[in-house]
Structure 1
Amino acid sequence: MLSAPPPRTIAGLVLAWAIVWFVLMALGGGSSWHFFVQGAAALVDVDDAVTGGLHLYAAAPVLQIGPLTFLAIVPLLPAGPLAALIGWQVLGAVAGLLILWLVRGLVPSWQRDAGWLALGAAYFLPVWMFLAVGVAHLDDVLALLLSVGALRAARAGRTWLTGLLLGLAVDAKPWAVGFAAMLLLLRGWRRQVCAAVALTVAVAVAWLPFFVADPGTSAALHYTIKNNSVSALHALGIHNPRTPPWDRPAQLALALILGVIAVRRGRWAAIPLLAVASRLVLEPGGNKYYIAGVVVGTVIWDFAGSRHDMPWWTLAACLSLFTARWIPMPDAVHGWLLVGLFLAAGSILLGAPRPVPESPWSLQTQSSTVPVR
C-alpha cells in the first residue's frame, strides 16, 4: 500500500492549488471593490458633515458592510484603489488558507490527517478564491475568518477571545451574529455570559457611534434588496419584489435556534453550516459568492463532525451550488438547490445525540494511546 505523502508535500500541493485559483480569479477580478473604496473613503472624510465620517450609513444605506471592514481598507488607500485591491486580494487568499489551518486544529491529529483536509481544500479553494479575489468581498472574508477563529477559541475554552472574535465578525458583516450559538460551547454559564458581554461590547464600540452621531443610520437596518429569481426565497413562493420586512429577523432566529439544537445534540461542528444555510434559505439575493460561506461550513462539518472518509459535503456544495451557477438551467432550480442545502444541513440534527468531546488541546496527551482510525 502506498504511504500518504508527508505533511510538507501536502501543504505544498494545497498552496500550489491556491495559487492557480488566485491567478484565475484575479484576471478581471475585484468586481465589487468599488463599494469598499467608496465606504472607506467616506469613513475617513470626517470633514463632510453630511455623507462622511459617522454619517456614512445614514447617507449610503446601500453599503451593508461593517465599519471594521472599511477600517481595514483605510491603511492601503494612499497607495490607490488598484494597489489596495491587489493587497486585499492577496490577504483574502491567505485568509482562506488560514481558515483551513484553523479547521485543522478543531480535532486531534489522530482523528483526521492533513491529507484528508487537503481533499476538502481541493473543493473549498475555488469557491473561496471567487469570494476573496474574483469579487473581492472583504466583509464576508473577514466575517468568515473571524467566526472560524471564534469556533476554535470556543473549543479551546478561551472565553473572552471567543466573544471578541464573534463581535469583530459582526463588525465586519452584520449577518455573522447568526454564529452566536458558538458561545454555548464554552463550559458553564458564567463563561458563556462573559463571552456574550465581550461580543456585545465589541459590537457596541463599532456600531453605536454611528447611531448616536446620526439617527438616520437606522435607515440602514431597513435597507432592502431585490428578490432574485434564483433565490430560495423566490423558489418557496415568496415573490415580494424586495426583501420582506420579516426576512432578516427570521434568518437570525432560525440560525440561532438550529445552532442551539446543534450544541445540545453534540453536532457543534455543524453550527457554521446551519447558520449559513438558515441565511440562504431566506435570502432574497442570488450572488454566487454567498456559497463561500457554505463551503466554510461544509469543510468544518466534513472534517470535525462527519464520520465519512471523504469530504462529501464540501464536494456536493461546490458542484451543486457553485459550479452549477455557470450551467444553463431554469432559475428556480438554483433556488431549490439552496432549499435542498437547508434540508440536508437540518438532517444533521436528526441523528442520535453525541457527547460533546473535549477540546483537541485537552486530548493531546492522549493521542499516543488512541488507535488511528
Structure 2
Amino acid sequence: MGTHVIKMPDIGEGIAEVELSAWHVKVGDLVVEDQVLADVMTDKAMVDIPSPVHGKVISLGGVPGEVMAVGSILISIEVEGAGNYKESAQPAAVAEVKAEPAKAAPAPAPKVEAVAPGKPAAACRPAPVAPVARTADERPLASPAVRKHALDAGIQLRLVQGTGPAGRILHEDLDAYLAQGPGASSAAGNAYRERHDEEQIPVIGMRRKIAQRMQDATQRAAHFSYVEEIDVTAVEELRAHLNEKHGASRGKLTLLPFLVRALVVALRDFPQINARYDDEAQVITRLGAVHVGIATQADIGLMVPVVRHAEARSLWDSAGEIARLATAARNGKASRDELSGSSITLTSLGALGGIVSTPVLNLPEVAIIGVNKIVERPMVIKGQIVIRKMMNLSSSFDHRVVDGMDAAQFIQALRGLLEQPATLFVE
C-alpha cells in the first residue's frame, strides 16, 4: 500500500490561495476516482476538487473556512501500489485532521455519492434528520424553489431541519422529511414550548464571499434607488401568445427575456448605465456589448451568472441561456467565466418579489434592475376603470457615475418599451 497526496490545485488567474469551503469526505472513508472530495472557494466561484484515485482517506489538510495556499497538501489517500508520496518528503506540519468537522460548521451533503465495494448503498445515505419545531413567526431559510417544492408537497417548512449553510433548508432536506412518513409532523405538538438552544454558524465559503461583496458595495458606492410602476398587460399577452404558438417547439418564455431585450434597446441611448466603474483607478468603462447578470438564488447563496452579448440574442436564445445558467448556478456547476464579466444585473424574486425592493449594486457595475411581482389592479384609462397587470421596477444606481435624471429617463425608456412591446423589435 502507498499514499497518494492531493495538493491544492492552481485554479488559475494568478490566484495564490483559496478558501476551503467544505469537505465531502472524512478520515476513514473509501473514495473512488472522480468522486468530489471538497469544495474550495475563489473570489469568483466554488470549485469542486475530485479524487484522481481509488482509496481510503487517511488525513485531511484543513478545516472549512481555512484559507490555504496553492500547492499545500489538501488530502492524503491510501492507495494500492506505491502512490505519489515519499515518506522522506513529508513536511513536518502535515497532521491528521479529526474525522468530524467543527460542531458549528457541519459539511453539506456530498454532491457525488460513491458506494464502496461490498458496502450496501443504504449505508452511504445520511441518517434521517429529526423534524424541528419552530414558532409560528420564525421564518426558516430556504430558496424560492425550495419553498415552492415544500408548498407543492404540503410540507410546513418550520418543521424541517435544514442542513445547508446557516441552517438553510435544501431540496434533499425536504426529501428526507418526506421519507420519514406521517410521524414526522408529531413535532408540531412542541411548537409552543420554551426553547433555550443556541447555534453559532461560522460565516465561511460562499456566505463569506456574499457578505464581503455586499458590505463592499454598500460602503464604496453611493446607492440611490428609483421605483416605477409598469403596465405589463400587453407584454404578458404577447408572451402568452408566443408560448401558445411556439412553446412546444422553441420552449416557454418567461418575462425575463423580454426584460433583457428591453435593456438592450434602452441602453443604446444610455451608454453611461451599461458601464463599470474602477474607483481605484478613477476610470469608467462604457461597454458596447450588453452582458446581463441574472441574480440567481442557489442553495449555497446568491450567484450572478452572466448572459453574454444579449444584444445579439433572440428572445428564445436569451430564454435558453438564462435557463441553462440558472440550472448550472443552482447545481454549483457554473464556471468562473460564467459568473463574471456582467455589465448590468437583473434581480427578481418571482412570485415572492413583493411591492418594492432596494437591490444592492453588483460592483463594479453602476446599475441593477429589480423586478417585483406582477399583480392585477384596477387602473383608470381614458376615464374608464379597467383591470391591468401591473409590476414595479425597483432599481439602484451608483450616484457617483449615474445622475438622477439619467436614471429616471432610463427607467421611463424601459417602461415605454415594455408597455408597447412591439417597439422591442423595431430597429
Which category describes the TM-score, using the shorter chain as reference length? under 0.3
TM-score of the two chains, using structure 2 as the length reference: 0.23
Greater radius of gyration (CA)? 2
Higher strand share: 2
Higher helix share: 1
Tell which has more relative contact order, 1 or 2 (C-alpha 8 A, sep 6+): 1
